[in-house]
Chains A and B, each alone.
Chain A
Amino acid sequence: MFAKFVIISAALILANCHAVASEGNAVLPENFVAAAQRSTHTNNWAVLVDASRFWFNYRHVANVLSIYRSVKRLGIPDSQIILMIADDMACNARNPRPGQVYNNANQHINVYGDDVEVDYRGYEVTVENFVRLLTGRTQNGTARSKKLLSDAGSNVLIYLTGHGGDGFLKFQDSEEITSQELADGIQQMWEKKRYNELFFMVDTCQAASLYEKFTSPNVLAVASSLVGEDSLSHHVDPSIGVYMIDRYTYYALEFLEKVQPFSKRTIGEFLQVCPKRVCISTVGVRKDLYRRDPHKVPITDFFGAIRPTRVSTDRINVTLANEDDFVVDKDDLVAKKPFKIVMESQFPSELFK
């Protein structure tokens, strides 16, 4: 029994190593590799956070709404997307296009759209709420739509955007979450079996500093810039007068827009969407905590959703409601005493008669 355990764990460790696995080294049986590579998740969640406010940070809202639009299009339902937006750009008085947010100067797509469900908005977007959300320690009475109800089978996508520095991300121009707090939160999630695999994506300045402290397993992280680098915006819409979107998110979206729910594109490809020549910053990737080969992981493992289905061979009794339940008893209606409502006249019209 002990020997078997050693073999399996050795296989798992070796499977991590891309070189060994791809060369088809005879040490590992094919089955183990395939088993390790196979996704075991049963549902998908997404936590999309825009942490910065103010009109001149329009681009961050556009970023997060663009990602929201993509994950929703690829099948994650609104009930499993937690969207945090720190400021209301659509209804900002300075917006020449009220109620609309665009991510492109061509203004093809209104990412604010008709059915955006913002779960945390404005001043609700705080470090406290974000950490409570991740760790599941929400306060009593928190609405179901504001909870991350993931389980051990959930693949969770966390997307953060805002203004960051070395080791922190600024929330609301008043507080910061540090990389240590973030790592602790994710460690708690792992211990509480709140995720199966976690894809952590962040677009801020010095973004790579945010995933440095992670220790939890099954986390794949990507950041728009390395420590000491700035992440830059992509372009300005001169008719609105603000920067529209950040570079990394722009190229990530360019990729995501071509992905369909049954697409074979992989996360490995996604990690390379923004080479330095277009991004200007260097995209940072952290794979050491992740056991699978990203090039064999479909992108829909994180950006799409599995709709849970179960094949049942048993007979299932479906009890229909009795018709009587819907018939109102006539006696009750008669028993009710009609009463007259007397309205006070609004104008003293009788005085003028």
Chain B
Amino acid sequence: MGLLSDPSISTQSKLVDGLARHVRKVCYALYVAGVAWFFCLALPEFNHGTYLSENALSPGLVYPEIRIDANRLAIQLLEELQRERKDHLSTTPHAWIAAKMNEFGLETHTHNYTLRYPFGGGKEYHGKNIYGILRAPRIASTEGIVFAAPYRAASSVHTDISASVPLLLAFADFARRKNYWAKDLIFLVTEQEQLGMQAWLEAYHDGDRDLDVSKAYLRPGNLPARAGSLQAALNIEVQDLEIDHVDVRIEGLNGKLPNLDMFNLVQRIMAREGIASGYKQAPRKKRRHSQSAFEQNLRQMLTMLASQSSGVPNGNHGLFHRYRIDALTIAANRRATHATLKGSPGSAAVPLLKAIEGIARSLNNLLERFHQSFFFYVIVNNDRYISIGDYMPALVALVACAFVKAYLTWSTLPALNAELETAAGLVRTQELNQELELEQEQEQKMQFEADSDTDKFELPYGSVLIYLTATLLIGFLCNVLPLQQYFLEIPMGAAPLTTSVLSFLSLIGFILPFVVVLPPGGLELLHVAFLLIYGCALIVIGLLNFALGFFAAVLTVPLVISLETKEENSRSTLRNSIRLVTLVMNPMMVIYVIVLAMTFYQFPELPLQKIMLRAATAAMDASAYGLIDSVIYGNWLYFVICTIFLPLWIICWTLALSKRRDYADYLDFDESPSTTPQPKVKTN
């Protein structure tokens, strides 16, 4: 056994000994420090003002040249589109859009895609995107910028954003007359919300490759024309030509964000055109000023992290991030009343058109992709941000609890060995020296060291490894099973299918510690392994999606700190409450509780029974959507929950139960871990 990994070699100092006795206090202090640091970030002393670091953007150096005639064109197009919408209640007027793009001189193409919906016996959906390319007049088509507008049919349940397409076309008509474009401009109209965008992006980047599409659920097809590598994208969602404010949406797939420079660029240009714009911008009358700056900042931070944590993009822009294309959505909201109308209605959209022109010209100036500013940040206010360097310490402090506890638990293992051996009657040379407890302990240790050469107690590495593998296998099955052909053939909806598979596997995890009892020392070793895996998993998740990692850490670290496997000092009430909390921390339960809270918040008028029922169906739907998102869009929330959180929960549950064999059992135990019974997981 190696010098470093051998717990029987006592390398303990008095400091470690002292700390080991107060491991919980140390960990709770770290936890409180991490959370306090996070709260401090809302203070103006801890965050920074935004600035543009990319020189090439040069925002606002050009006078906008777009004039009121573009606005008139937008109004005229909107009227035409409204007439078209009467004939296309649940479909997109592709012909009209393509005809308009052709009329404006764009290189117009259509893109067809197919979705093979895997659940419920399998269905096929077809969709069609329209896009027009404006080729840069004096340079090769090596780079492009996308201006996208989603189209929603009249029958859609979502907010009507039919003004986006006319606005996009009006801008396209303006842009076509200009000679200064150094990148191709793509004007894209997608349908079916994010599905259309995802299909278009996949077709753009992988459509010409010979990939095996027989197993893919989304068949994106190929595009007839491209415009080089895409540098940036702007998604436009406009409710009406008369706008009140612009909400800038940035959260993308898996919590990715566009470069901070892009957000700052949009903010700066919007401000120049006098449009009220910002991150999570509220309507004018709802903006509260009574809150303190700290409270506002904290609320903003938490809402941003909350929307990031699910990993679901809050606009079509979010899908671009996967291809390293910086993108955001400008969602222009309708003006509520017409009484406050300042300008004539014929020029209402001119500021927005000017802003789009300004953003387009700045993006056109880009020499390379956005790279100067931050990709990981939290917006505190429209002009203040927290960079990754400032917010990571909060998560690191939380995760440090796990590692500190792991080390201190590891350092107590030799003493544990001694105890075990004493209990098993292997060490009989103990003298009766009852002067001082400390002295006794030291002597005991010394004796142990003297004896350890002759009959050494081996920690059951093998059985713990097998146990870990079994739990990970359960997690793996969660990912794989719902998509197996024989399950998909069952005529069952996606939600019940996913939920039943997940519940079944969770149940196996629940039973596992009752069936499989680890040999002596196994629980302690499992505890150390659990803490290490848990810490690594959290820090990795936190690096990729800070919001998810941080929330998971805040939620679970207290439980992990209070977990204890030692038997002698267990108070039964504490023990049972820990067991109860662990049960509630089951990923399935957590999802249900979150959905329940949201349902309660949304429908406070319903009776509790109905809310709980409704939340149950919603939670089932949520797990199914998670699975669908992961297979179609590449969202890894489902994967993380199944592969990381569920196995960790099973281990956690094992530790909370602390099922041990009787001493009598392991007196006969011949110290070889291979006799551990195999975990029974092959039930399916």
A binds B: yes
Least CB separation from A55: chain B residue: B365
Cα-based distance from A274 to B139 in the complex (angstroms):
39
Chain A stretch 177-215: residues in CB contact (< 8 A) with chain B = none
B61 touches A96 (CB 8 A): no
Cα separation A56 to B182 with both chains bound (whole Å): 13
Give the residues in chain B near A236, CB-CB below 8 Å: 61
A94 interfacial contact with B, CB 8 Å: yes
Q: Tell yes or no: A123 within 8 A of B by CB.
A: no
Could you list some 7 contacts between A and B, CB below 8 A?
A55-B367, A93-B136, A96-B178, A96-B180, A236-B61, A239-B62, A241-B61
A94 partner, pick from B55, B63, B364, beta carbons under 8 A: B364
Name which residue of chain B comes closest to A236, CB basis: B61
At the interface, yes or no: A266 with Cβ under 8 Å from chain B? no
Interface of B (DSSP majority class):
loop
CB-CB under 8 A from A239, the residues of chain B are 62-63
Least CB distance, B133 to chain A, in whole angstroms: 16
Taking A55-B56, A56-B56 as contacts, is the C-beta distance between A92 and B182 under 8 angstroms?
Answer: yes
Chain A residues with CB under 8 Å of B62's CB are 238-241
Nearest-neighbor residue (CB-CB) of B59 within chain A: A241
Taking a contact as CB atoms closer than 8 A, the residue among B138, B179, B361, B367 that contacts A241 in the complex is: B361
Cα-based distance from A327 to B522 in the complex (angstroms): 111
- A32 within 8 A of partner (CB): no
Q: Which residues of A contact B367 (CB under 8 A)?
A: 54-55
Given contacts A55-B367, A239-B63, contact A98 B58 (CB under 8 A): no
Closest-CB distance, A205 to chain B (whole angstroms): 13
Residue from the list A93, A242, A243 in contact with B182, Cβ < 8 A? A93
Q: Kindly identify, within residues 45 to 91 of chain A, every residue whose CB is under 8 Å from any CB belonging to chain B.
A: 54-56, 91
Closest to B358 in A: A241
B385 within 8 A of A: no
Asked whether any CB of chain B lies closer than 8 Å to the CB of A95, the reply is: yes
A to B contact number (C-beta, < 8 Å): 45
- Assign chain B's interface to a size class: 10 to 19
Interchain residue pairs A-B with the least CB separation, the first 6: A241-B62, A93-B182, A93-B139, A238-B63, A93-B138, A96-B180
Known contacts A94-B365, A238-B62; 17 additional CB pairs below 8 A are A54-B56, A54-B367, A55-B367, A56-B56, A93-B136, A93-B137, A93-B181, A93-B182, A95-B180, A96-B178, A96-B179, A96-B180, A98-B179, A238-B63, A239-B63, A241-B361, A243-B61
Q: Cβ of A95: which chain B residues have Cβ within 8 Å of it?
A: 180
Report A's interface with B, CB cutoff 8 A: 54-56, 91-96, 98, 236, 238-243
Nearest Cβ on chain A to B495's Cβ, whole angstroms = 52
Which B17-63 residues have a C-beta within 8 angstroms of A?
A: 55-56, 58, 61-63
Which chain A residue has the least Cβ–Cβ distance from B64?
A238
Interface residues of B in 354-389 (CB under 8 A from A): 361, 364-365, 367
Contact B138 A98 (CB under 8 A): yes
Contacts of B364 in A (CB 8 A): 94
Looking at A92, A93, A238, which has the most chain B CB atoms within 10 Å of its CB? Answer: A93
**Min C-beta distance of A91 to chain B, whole Å:** 8
Known: A94-B182, A242-B58. A56 touches B136 (CB 8 A): no
CB distance from A185 to the nearest CB of B (A): 29
A54: B residues at CB distance < 8 A: 55-56, 367
A241 neighbours in B (Cβ, 8 Å): 58, 61-62, 361, 365
Q: Which of B58, B139, B180, B361 sits near A56, CB closer than 8 Å?
A: B58
Interface centre among A56, A240, A243 (most CB of B within 10 A): A56
- Nearest B residue to A173 via CB reads B367
CA distance A95 to B365 in the complex (A): 10
* Complex Cα spacing A94 to B62, Å: 12
Give the residues in chain B near A92, CB-CB below 8 Å: 182
CA distance A91 to B137 in the complex (A): 12
A56 touches B55 (CB 8 A): yes
Q: How far is the CA of A56 from the CA of B364 in the complex (A)?
A: 12
- Residues from chain A with a CB closer than 8 A to the CB of B56 are 54-56
CA distance A96 to B361 in the complex (A): 11
Chain B residues with Cβ under 8 A from A96's Cβ? 178-180
Q: Which residues of B contact A238 (CB under 8 A)?
A: 61-63
Most chain B Cβ neighbours within 10 Å, of A55, A96, A236, A241:
A241
Whether the Cβ atoms of A93 and B180 lie closer than 8 Å is: yes
How many Å lie between the Cα of A241 and that of B361 in the bound state? 9
- Closest CB of chain A to B366's CB: distance in Å? 10
CA distance in complex: A242, B63 (Å): 11
CA gap between A198 and B178 in the complex, in Å:
46
CB-based nearest B residue for A57: B55
Docked CA distance A80–B620 (Å)? 81
Interface hits, B250-269 → A, CB 8 Å = none
Smallest CB-CB separation from A91: which chain B residue? Answer: B138
CB of A70 to closest CB in B, whole Å:
27
Residues of chain A lying within 8 A (CB to CB) of residue B180? 93-96
Inter-chain CA distance A98–B181, complex, in Å, is 12
Q: How far is the CA of A236 from the CA of B181 in the complex (A)?
A: 20
Contact B365 A56 (CB under 8 A): yes
Chain B proximity of A69: nearest CB distance (Å):
24
- A146 smallest CB distance to B (angstroms): 28
Q: Give CA–CA (A243, B62) in the complex, Å.
A: 10
State how many angstroms separate the Cβ of B136 from the closest Cβ of chain A.
6
* CB of A105 to closest CB in B, whole Å: 11
Closest A-chain residue to B362, C-beta based?
A241
Docked CA distance A93–B361 (Å): 12
Q: Which residues of A contact B361 (CB under 8 A)?
A: 241
A240 CA to B63 CA in the complex, in Å?
Answer: 9
B496 to chain A, nearest CB (A): 57
Asked whether A242 and B138 contact (CB < 8 A) given A94-B364, A96-B178, A98-B179, the answer is: no
